[in-house]
Copies of this chain bind each other. A is one copy, B any other.
């Protein structure tokens, strides 16, 4: 028996586009004599469809896509993720379902049992869990069909769930497993995934075909990395990260094993490639091409510019250099060198006249006050407005260049440097931004060395440095990581050896700046806990503040 694993890039709500991609893959799989082709979880609708699932019309279009696919299931069987209505009258209105299509018809539908409802996941908002489990009989084989999280309560070690679908299916003696997934990327995910799949194999000792999707859905990135695994727990083949792929496997060969192909999992490279895909998909899927950003001479905008040029092509990236009286000479120079290294269009637009116009207009009201945060923010906002003017005039989308450290502690100006349609590096701590910059400079120096080595500064007042108001980033980032990714409280972090006053100050800054993060662009997610839909915090609260 030959099994095709189709790792495709779907698009939420794009029923026609998703169907077309699947039909093409079916043709290709047939040419390669596949008996079964497997697509990912919710392939018809894209993942996550979110509240579109509450629309009858949306559900209907998913059903129509399944009807189309069923018609294409001639001389090949199709495993595909979609939604199914819950007609029982009890429980949530839909199921997250794996359809088994063959001979022009729906042969079987297996519902998902374990519905992730944490971090970015809201599955129990929409779906009723599976209550029954059955293997699929096809061409003399028995197939155990599961959906993503269904494999993540192995032997019931996962405290979140009370059922283990494979334990339910094993008494029916399946010959192999198919797991269709929509498993989002984080730089730790590929390793975590492989560990879980191996643990399943160790327990059940039958071949596994794991089909993930690739591509970005706004901030959620899917890395692909689909896997055929032999019964001895060896990875027969891991499919590429971050791009579509189709492979046809001979079941017997996978069962016999003796082949091992797995990809490197280096943190910064994974993050780099994930961000490139995130940028590309955001624009492709919106039908857009061109971006703009402000280049300050600092590390954050430099890294975003390199990512944008790599992802979208140098002709689609335009930058503005907007010096003020507080900009150091080397900043403009470094920004210009970078733009020239990348071959992207740049304009130098001093903000002095605009800043002065604000100053003159506000003078009657502010005359008795001193230069301070207001005036710093005005510079940042003047830049934001200029960038948005270019964006509106020429159709370039503004890329946000905030990093996770500054987003965390509120070291950014709302409606100023926090502007932008997409936050590219908002899930990278400052220390990770430096790592990424060095990675980019490995082959040749693209980002000027001085941008990497000089002390970070917002340059909004004379001789300003980030370290005037913040702890050094190597300490700050460690505290933030414990609080954000690891959900450690103040005492736990202090017990790790950090200074009490510093820990309390940092946690307070994170909490009182929730209102700023509420108004920022979606952040491409590369960590296990990004700002955005996966981290839901009250704004008006009084906890650790």
Of the listed stretches A171-179, A241-249, A353-361, A470-478, chain B binds A353-361
Interface string of A485-504 (1 = CB under 8 A from B): 00111111000000000000
Docked complex Cα distance between A353 and B360 (Å): 9
Q: Which residues of B lie under 8 Å from residue A350 when comparing CB positions? A: 361
Which of these, B91, B385, B535, contacts A378 with CB under 8 Å?
A: B385
Contact flags A130-166 to B (C-beta < 8 A → 1, else 0): 0000000000000000000000000010011110000
Q: Out of B12, B55, B218, B281, name the residue touching A542 (CB < 8 Å).
A: B12
User: Which chain B residues border A17 with CB–CB below 8 Å?
Assistant: 542
A354-B349 contact given A374-B392, A540-B218, CB 8 Å threshold:
no
Q: Smallest distance from the beta carbon of A188 to chain B beta carbons, Å?
A: 18
- Considering only CB atoms, which chain B residue lies closest to A45 in the complex? B543
Assuming the contacts A13-B542, A51-B535, A357-B354, asked whether A393 and B374 have C-beta atoms less than 8 A apart, the reply is: yes
User: A419 — which chain B residues lie within 8 A by C-beta?
Assistant: 415
Question: Which of A117-125, A192-200, A258-266 binds B?
Answer: A117-125
Contact with B along A518-538 (1 / 0, CB 8 A): 111110000000000101111
CB <8 Å contact, A13 and B543: yes
| A204 contacts partner chain B, Cβ-Cβ < 8 Å | no
Is the C-beta of A444 less than 8 angstroms from some C-beta in chain B? no
A329 part of interface (Cβ distance < 8 Å): no
A57 CB within 8 Å of chain B: yes
B415 touches A390 (CB 8 A): no
Q: Which of A34-42, A225-233, A365-373 contacts B (4 or more CB under 8 A)?
A: A365-373
Closest residue on chain B to residue A392 by CB atoms? B374
Knowing A52-B537, A541-B11, A541-B13, say if A361 contacts B378 (CB, 8 Å).
Answer: no
A415-B384 in contact (CB<8A): yes
Q: Which residues of B contact A491 (CB under 8 A)?
A: 57
Query: Do residues A353 and B347 form an inter-chain contact, with CB atoms below 8 A?
Result: no
Cβ of A31 within 8 Å of any chain B Cβ, yes or no, is: no
Nearest chain B CB to A264 CB, angstrom units:
29
Task: Indicate if the CB atoms of B518 and A521 lie closer than 8 Å.
Answer: yes
A388 and B377 within 8 A (CB): yes
A408–chain B nearest beta-carbon distance, Å: 14
State the Cβ distance, A122 to closest chain B Cβ, in Å: 7
Q: With A357-B354, A365-B347, A390-B365 known to touch, is A46 a contact of B13 (CB < 8 Å)?
A: no
Query: Of B282, B388, B390, B541, which contacts A12 at CB under 8 A?
Result: B541
B540–A217 touching, CB < 8 Å: yes
Q: Is A428 an interface residue (CB 8 A)?
A: no
User: Within the complex, which residue of B217, B285, B351, B354 is in contact with A354, where a contact is CB–CB below 8 Å?
Assistant: B354
Pick 12 A–B contacts, CB within 8 A, sort by A. A11-B540, A50-B537, A93-B159, A349-B361, A350-B361, A354-B357, A358-B385, A358-B389, A374-B393, A384-B415, A415-B415, A518-B521
Shortest Cβ-Cβ A-B pairs, 10 listed: A13-B543, A57-B489, A357-B357, A14-B542, A374-B392, A12-B541, A13-B541, A374-B393, A218-B540, A218-B539
Interface set of A (CB-CB < 8 Å, partner B): 11-14, 17, 46, 48-52, 54-58, 89-93, 117-118, 122, 124-125, 156, 159-162, 216-218, 281-282, 285-286, 347, 349-351, 353-354, 356-358, 360-362, 365-366, 369, 372-374, 377-378, 381-382, 384-386, 388-390, 392-393, 414-415, 419, 421, 487-492, 515, 518-522, 533, 535-544
